[in-house]
Structure 1
Amino acid sequence: MNKIRLTAVALAGATLLTVAGTPAQAETPWCTGSDLVVSAHDMRSPSSASKAHQIRFAAAEGVSCTIGGSLSDVRFLDADGEDLGIEPTVQSGEYVEVPVGGYREAAVYVASQIHGPRVTPASIRITLPGQDGPGDSVTVAWPSNLSPVVRLGSLTAPVS
């Protein structure tokens, strides 16, 4: 009986040493353009004075990564890829880093005035935030018209 207890204690001790000696899991890598599936969608606006959109950042199959900060070099493009000249205001909120992967996504909310002239972009080109500066540039289809007065928020976990 004592041999069994000693063997169990020895195995438990060896297991603890193995776990304690294992290096910590590597941090989740920063998202690049190829890590993400980026899409733009119409959404219901919380204000009757604005039209709302959401840009979603989902991880590609089998990827887990982290993204945070603000988008830069945001350009709305026509069907020929020409810049429509819309200069969005990028509102910087509290800086957060959002883990993306599995069911977790990140989002940027976009608002434009409901009244006034309208333009219908075919796509939006954005530069993702990199870990130490600007990241990759991605272009995605844009779902509908908007006013040339556009505001973009910072990356955040999406509101359900």
Structure 2
Amino acid sequence: MNRFRKSATIGSLVAVAALALAGTSAAQAAGTSSAAPWCTGDDLVIAAHDMRPTSNPDKGHVLSFTAAEGVTCTIGGSLSNVRFLDAKGQDMNVPLTGGQGQYTETTVHGIFASVVYIGSPKKSLSVTPAFIQFDLPGQGSLGDRITTAWPSWIGVPVQIGNIMWPVS
């Protein structure tokens, strides 16, 4: 089922997030459980948001993955087949770059959510998509295809990180 789906340089943000991830074992212990089933699109509320403006040369967005009411599930890795779509649902052919980062798995439930940080240069060609579309990671295969609303313009190319714990 389709669901309608920050900023230092994204590479720096992913590195900072990895360090924060290593230092948050208590939060991980509270938020992870290897017994939780793998997340599907129906298990998640997915939304894209603009991050707070900064003087950084990159514009940031965050894609949040929150558990639907009563759901506990595990998600990790990277999004596949990412596309930015116009209002008619047509692929805008926005170029994407690396920056996925280290593989991690997180368990979403209650107040514990996961995020993907997305960065793009402010001083470049820009486009204003209406939607972002991607395949969730699955276990051994692609997960559900998700299409969610996109909040604002992006510069090109776009750099997308892995699914991870939010950086505070």
TM-score above 0.5, yes or no? yes
TM-score normalized with structure 1 length? 0.81
Find runs of 4+ consecutive structure 1 residues off by over 6 angstroms.
none
Mark the structure with the bigger radius of gyration.
1
2-structure distance, mates of 1:26, 1:97: 9
Structure 1, unmatched stretches of 5+, are 1-24
State the aligned residue count: 136
CA distance in 2, matches of 1:58, 1:85: 28
1 or 2 for the larger relative contact order (CA 8 Å, sep ≥6)?
2
Change (3 A) 1:45 1:152: farther
Q: Which amino acid aligns with 1:117?
A: L
Q: In the alignment, is residue 108 of structure 1 matched against residue 116 of structure 2?
A: yes
Normalising by structure 2, report the TM-score.
Answer: 0.77
2:40 equivalent to 1:32: yes
SS at match of 1:34: helix
Q: Deviations over 1:85-129 (max 9, x none)?
A: 013124231111000010000000000000022100000001100
**Aligned 8 A contact 1:105 1:157 in 2:** yes
CA distance, structure 2, for counterparts of residue 84 and residue 26 of structure 1: 38
2:143 is matched with 135
Q: Paired residue for 1:41?
A: 49
Structure 1 Cα separation of the partners of residues 76 and 55 of structure 2: 26
- What's the Cα RMSD here? 1.6
Identity level (%): 50
Which amino acid is 1:118 matched to? Answer: S
> 1:3-152 to 2 correspondence within 5 Å?
27-44=35-52, 48-152=56-160
